[in-house]
Structure 1
């Protein structure tokens, strides 16, 4: 029976967020629009993760490398998080399927860990163009299976991710379900990429407003990361998949970003599949604004909401505030 997604429009855009939007539109968007998108140049994109050393996690964060997976991963425990108990978050970073990693997202993930009061398994899945998208999805679904093998109950696991990682936060559980594994307790997706067809994004009003992502550039991403793919393939495009077995979902998106179209479309498809979904649209915020929480109070508020969602779907009652 179809349900109607809950849409929450979060008003308010502070000076810090407005400054970040201006800087991105003035300096980063022109750079993204002009960078050559070729298999050769993209081989250097993962080096962006090295810049993550500048984004130190909050004081008191503990990080421990994980062995035994098909890709690098680490446990991140935010300040005050003991890790006692079995409730965890499984997180996949964004970066257009070609960039970023454990370092670039460690600060934000530590804040999410603290807000949820549970450890986060951060997974650096292998990326394009070195491997196929099927390998990336496999790395993520295998990480979910690994948590189950380690003794974590499905009802104690929340799968989360941003942007390309938001795509994987949907695809990993879908592939796990296909392989006979039970679903996690919930899915939290931050500005997720969910639709391989770029036409809707280019036609969306936010194509002219997004301060970071030039919509036509997404065509290059799809051509490179999904070569020859049929855009309606249910095993590659979340919005075309059978979503009926998925758990409750939280989607957060900025009101001016081009991937708002993907977030709204995915929320509608989840509702049609009778999957409980809350879509939060944050006024004036850009793509994955949560990572800019140091200058945007709305980023901290959104992280607090992610923590509350993780606690609610796993039944955890303890609450801590993000640093």
Structure 2
């Protein structure tokens, strides 16, 4: 049964939907979402935030006290390419980085009403190239993201592979958006459970992001990408969200491609419920699972203090 604290996430989405029709501009809706979203997350404490210019991209170094300085989470924030920023997500990523025991680089990108695809993936690549230029080893980096951050995560992976470059150690995806064609059955089966992401609303987000471009383009719909050779992936989704079947379908495609894959679906939870980190037990449990899974991939100690051998990751 969902905790009382977790209802804040459902209330957030219900408020966004209720207020959207009353606002006169896309920017006003986006701002309302961001202000409401930010308050969901508790402060992790013991985490420093340092703004940097990452190859022309605004980014935040998120550095927990005592964190391993050579391991990095490279994080793409969600928001449907309509909202969200390094500021809405800094506390969430602070919780994740603190649990893992490494630093994180959380980067911005243009929202869709500022620039259409592929501007967002180009920003992600600029930030990645900057990170590598700082001397970090790709095998000591895990890619991570929530919602539309999955688009950028797998866009970066596809571009790195096409360029013949080293891939990172692992991938963490929260409520991933993998299918711009919106073929998941959960758009209907969870329609009454999810107050925000009706198929019509997500269809609008697709058009806002890519216009009339091909919705099956693997760079925007990773469900249709060649996933062979990609790093291990841990997917999490809420059982009540309309996008949950996209994670299920992607997990199956990844397994078929030979990718080590884990999928955890959390009963009664909605989209990106991990934003309630530090306030809701479901969010803290999910982040603990992410951290326990990825630490060995990065060669960090597990919960018992044992150092994993990451050479084969």
TM-score bracket for the superposition, by shorter chain length = 0.7 to 0.9
Unmatched 5+ stretches in structure 2: 305-313
Corresponding residue for residue 172 of structure 2: 188
Q: Does 1:70 align with 2:56?
A: yes
Query: Which of 89, 95, 114 is residue 105 of structure 1 equivalent to?
Result: 89
Corresponding residue for residue 135 of structure 1: 119
Q: Quote how far apart the aligned CAs of 1:50 are.
A: 6.0
Corresponding residue for residue 240 of structure 2: 256
Specify whether residues 143 and 269 from structure 1 end up closer, same or farther in structure 2 by C-alpha distance, changes over 3 A only.
Answer: same
Query: Which of 46, 49, 54 is residue 60 of structure 1 equivalent to?
Result: 46
Partner SS state of residue 115, structure 2:
coil
Q: Quote how far apart the aligned CAs of 1:42 are.
A: 2.8
- Output aligned runs, 1:195-274, within 5 Å: 195-200=179-184, 203-274=187-258
Higher relative contact order (CA 8 A, sep 6+): 1
Partner SS state of residue 133, structure 1:
coil
Q: Quote how far apart the aligned CAs of 1:58 are.
A: 2.6
Corresponding residue for residue 11 of structure 2: 23
Query: Which of 278, 281, 297 is residue 297 of structure 1 equivalent to?
Result: 281
Q: Quote how far apart the aligned CAs of 1:82 are.
A: 3.5
**Matches of 1:249 and 1:218, distance apart in 2:** 24
**Matches of 2:261 and 2:144, distance apart in 1:** 14
Q: Quote how far apart the aligned CAs of 1:41 are.
A: 2.7
Task: Compute the TM-score of the two structures, normalised by the length of structure 2.
Answer: 0.88
Partner SS state of residue 51, structure 2:
strand
Partner SS state of residue 89, structure 2:
helix
Corresponding residue for residue 81 of structure 1: 66
Q: Quote how far apart the aligned CAs of 1:68 are.
A: 4.0
- After superposition, the CA RMSD in angstroms is 2.4
**Matches of 1:262 and 1:26, distance apart in 2:** 22
Unmatched 5+ stretches in structure 1: 1-11
Q: Quote how far apart the aligned CAs of 1:159 are.
A: 0.4
Q: Quote how far apart the aligned CAs of 1:131 are.
A: 1.2
Specify whether residues 22 and 235 from structure 1 end up closer, same or farther in structure 2 by C-alpha distance, changes over 3 A only.
Answer: closer
Asked whether the equivalents of residues 87 and 157 of structure 1 are also in contact (C-alpha less than 8 Å), the reply is yes
Q: How many residues align?
A: 302
Q: Quote how far apart the aligned CAs of 1:179 are.
A: 2.1
